[in-house]
Amino acid sequence: MTQKYLLVKGCAGLGNRIFSVLDALNYCIKNNRRLVVDWSDGQFGKKGEDVFKDFFHVDDSCFYEGPLSRIYEIADCDPQYWRSKMSSSIYDIYQVGNPNFLLKKIPSLFFKNKFKRRKHSLWVNKKLGRIKYGILDVFDKDNMTFGGHLEYNLQPQLLIYADFNPKNDSIYAISKIKLEKELEKEINHLTSEHHLSEKYIGLHIRYSDKKPLSKIDKIIYHIENEYGDTPIFLATDNIKIEKMIKAHFKNVLTLQKDLPDPIEGRGIHMWGIDNLDEAYKSKMIKSSIMDMWLLSRCKTLFYQGNSSFSRISHLLHSNKNLCYDWEKV
């Protein structure tokens, strides 16, 4: 029997990418496919070099650990448009298309099989030159459904997967994501050195593209009144927020990192798309992973519910009863 594969193309930020890997892993287990992760898009490292295996390992027999070049050679793929472009990133070929009003109103029963869920967002081939799509685009074989909407039991040997935030259960799959050994040691050392699991509050505030709907004063007031001088491990993508929290609390621990100047409406993960400093990109993804995992090691976690980065820390945390979406406290 011919082995079948699912190739996950990296897109968006770190949290989005991990959620996509988790969803893809679930899909592979249920559909007897090998999971292939391709983060060679250049956002977190040199374009053309896969950085996933530099930091992660998937502890499951379905995980493919061989060279991507072998996967790129598979001819029976879906969409077929990828056949001669297999090493490209998702953004080299596609943009996110939003359904027009008419398509939203057509009952899903109208669509059969692979078209059933294409009434929602879709990867639209850039050759179309637009970001709105209509009826005909749903049936364009070169367009691509979001990975979280892939149907089961598809026949092509290789399926291409890309998604931002698939809505599937990831609790089982998160236990399969393992860190590279030296990175794991570094995180374990910091956890032990600062007694994070025994006494620290983990606080994540994303303040670039995904700003909280609530004012920062809300969580400051809550911690001051409910936790007093409890030490805080802070992870943030905004230097102004870091200074604000450190001005309010005596004991605030942060990782030392150089944050790029914030650009309104853009997350720091998007910095890598426009810049060629590969060493800095590598430092940025490493510090982001460390922030994400260290947040999950804290005794109490205040995560930001509208951030996939925060939700991964929540997913990793061993005691969900001590995890709170700080905008809802």
**Over the Cα atoms of the chain, what is R_g?**
21
Question: Do 228 and 291 belong together in one domain?
Answer: yes
Phi-psi region of 99 (alpha: psi -120 to 50; beta: other; left: phi over 0): beta
Give the pLDDT confidence of 177-224 residue by residue, as tens digits: 999 999 999 999 999 999 999 999 999 999 886 778 778 999 999 999
Question: Do 154 and 191 belong together in one domain?
Answer: no
The residue from 140, 171, 202 where one domain ends is 171
Q: Considering the entire predicted model, what is its pTM?
A: 0.88
Question: Do 225 and 151 belong together in one domain?
Answer: no
Mean pLDDT of 271-296: 84
Question: Do 167 and 29 belong together in one domain?
Answer: yes
The residue from 151, 171, 191 where one domain ends is 171
Question: Do 160 and 212 belong together in one domain?
Answer: no
Range of the domain at 158: 5-171
Residue 78 lies in a domain: yes
Residue 176 lies in a domain: no
Question: Do 143 and 185 belong together in one domain?
Answer: no
Residue 250 lies in a domain: yes
d(CA 85, CA 293): 34
Give the pLDDT confidence of 1-53 residue by residue, as tens digits: 899 999 999 998 999 999 999 999 999 999 999 999 999 999 898 889 999 99
Residue 159 lies in a domain: yes
Q: What is the DSSP letter of 8?
A: E
Tokens in use for 96? 């996110």
CB < 8 Å & 24+ apart, contacts of 113-122:
113/151, 114/145, 114/151, 114/154, 115/139, 116/151, 117/145, 117/149, 117/151, 118/143, 118/145, 118/149, 120/146, 120/149, 121/96, 121/97, 121/146, 122/96, 122/97, 122/146
Predicted local confidence at residue 155, as pLDDT: 95
Residue 212 lies in a domain: yes
Question: Do 216 and 165 belong together in one domain?
Answer: no
